[in-house]
Amino acid sequence: MLKAVLFDLDGVITDTAEYHYMAWKQLASEIHIEIDREFNEMLKGVSRMESLERILRHGQRERDFTPEEKQELATKKNKQYVQLLEQVTPSDVYPGIRELLLELKTSGIHAVIASASKNAPQILRSLQLTDLFDYIVDPDEVAQGKPAPDIFLRGAEAVGATAEECIGIEDAQAGIEAIKSAQMIAVGIGDEALLMASGADVVLPTTEKLSLPFLKSLIC
Ligand code: B16
Ligand code: MG
């Protein structure tokens, strides 16, 4: 029986990827590394520090900075990102998501955020969605980020659900892999070929078709 739905944030609840991209692009250009949208796809669902490492590797500059300097670079990117987040409003919630969350609440099924973003609480406040979630996993609570299963397992544990009673929803390959290694049903949002290759059980092109009857049909 379905007891909890674990949502990724960026790419599932709203599109903050564009703001991440703008902030990383500016930071990268300051250290003479060029990134484009195609490269940005590899940063989706990946933690802030791992994103920085990937950018430095891309520019072959991974050995040019001390751990302290890397921390400063990540902090600088985050300041810029947080400034861009000021533009987020409730109208930025993806289609069908608010309705799905309301259906879950009425049915007593737990809704959990399992996002790699440390800014998730602020984003949910700006979207006016905080009250519709039962638990927001702090990525610092878990030992390993996606594609490790930790964040999804922690989310399930927090609401008293077993893996078989959970569905995870993700837009990134690393996220689908994390859900599958947590032994949960994985719903992908976005590119069907890419997400099926990562092990998704089903992929929808957008969030519009997500509904409680659809999710229940995957697990009963
Ligand atoms: P922050 P998700 C992820 O969110 C983003 O997709 C990824 O691009 C970002 O680096 C990561 O959060 C960390 O975000 O810098 O705000 O802590 O897709 O897991 O909801
Ligand atoms: Mg995502």
Per-residue pLDDT of the chain (220 residues; tens, 9 = 90+): 999 999 999 999 999 999 999 999 999 999 999 999 999 988 999 999 999 999 999 999 989 999 999 999 999 999 999 999 999 999 999 999 999 999 999 999 999 999 999 999 999 999 999 999 999 999 999 999 999 999 999 999 999 999 999 999 999 999 999 999 999 999 999 999 999 999 999 999 999 999 999 999 999 6
Q: Whose CA is nearest to atom 15 of ligand 1?
A: 48
DSSP-assigned states of every residue in 155-220: HHHHTT--GGGEEEEESSHHHHHHHHHTT-EEEEES-HHHHHHTT-SEEESSGGG--HHHHHHHH-
Q: What is the pLDDT of residue 165?
A: 98
Q: Which atom of ligand 1 is nearest to the CA of 20?
A: 8
Q: Whose CA is nearest to atom 3 of ligand 1?
A: 45
Q: Whose CA is nearest to atom 13 of ligand 1?
A: 117
Q: What is the pLDDT of residue 148?
A: 96
Torsion angle defined by CA atoms of residues 49, 55, 57 and 59, in that order, rounded to the nearest 10 degrees: -150
Say if residue 139 is preceded by a cis peptide, omega within 30 of 0: no
**115 in ligand 1 pocket by Cβ < 6 Å?**
yes
Q: Give residue 106 CA to ligand 1 midpoint distance, Å.
A: 29
Give the pair of three-digit tokens for residue 163: 């893996």
Residue recorded with tokens 């430095």 = 56
**23 in ligand 1 pocket by Cβ < 6 Å?**
no
Q: How far apart are CA 80 and CA 39, in angstroms?
A: 19
Query: Please, how many CA atoms are within 13 Å of residue 214, restricted to the half-sphere of its CB?
Result: 15
DSSP type of residue 63: T
**78 in ligand 1 pocket by Cβ < 6 Å?**
yes
Q: Which ligand is nearest to the CA of 47?
A: 1
Q: Are residues 50 and 128 located together in one domain of the fold?
A: no
Residue recorded with tokens 């892999």 = 177
Catalytic positions: 8, 10
Q: Are residues 114 and 56 located together in one domain of the fold?
A: no
Domain tally, the chain: 2
Q: How far apart are CA 30 and CA 101, in angstroms?
A: 41
CATH number at residue 99: 3.40.50.1000
Q: Determine the residue of 85, 93, 115 to mutate for testing ligand 1's pocket, defined as the one with the most ligand atoms within 8 A of the Cβ atom.
A: 115
Q: Are residues 105 and 196 located together in one domain of the fold?
A: yes
Boundary (domain end) residue, out of 85, 108, 131: 85
Q: Are residues 97 and 166 located together in one domain of the fold?
A: yes
Q: Are residues 98 and 185 located together in one domain of the fold?
A: yes
Q: Are residues 113 and 46 located together in one domain of the fold?
A: no
Q: What is the pLDDT of residue 78?
A: 98
**123 in ligand 1 pocket by Cβ < 6 Å?**
no
CATH number at residue 50: 1.10.150.240
Q: What is the pLDDT of residue 64?
A: 94
Boundary (domain end) residue, out of 85, 101, 136: 85
Give the pair of three-digit tokens for residue 217: 């049909």
**170 in ligand 1 pocket by Cβ < 6 Å?**
no
Print the domain residue range for 63. 17-85
Q: What is the pLDDT of residue 188?
A: 98
Q: Are residues 157 and 173 located together in one domain of the fold?
A: yes
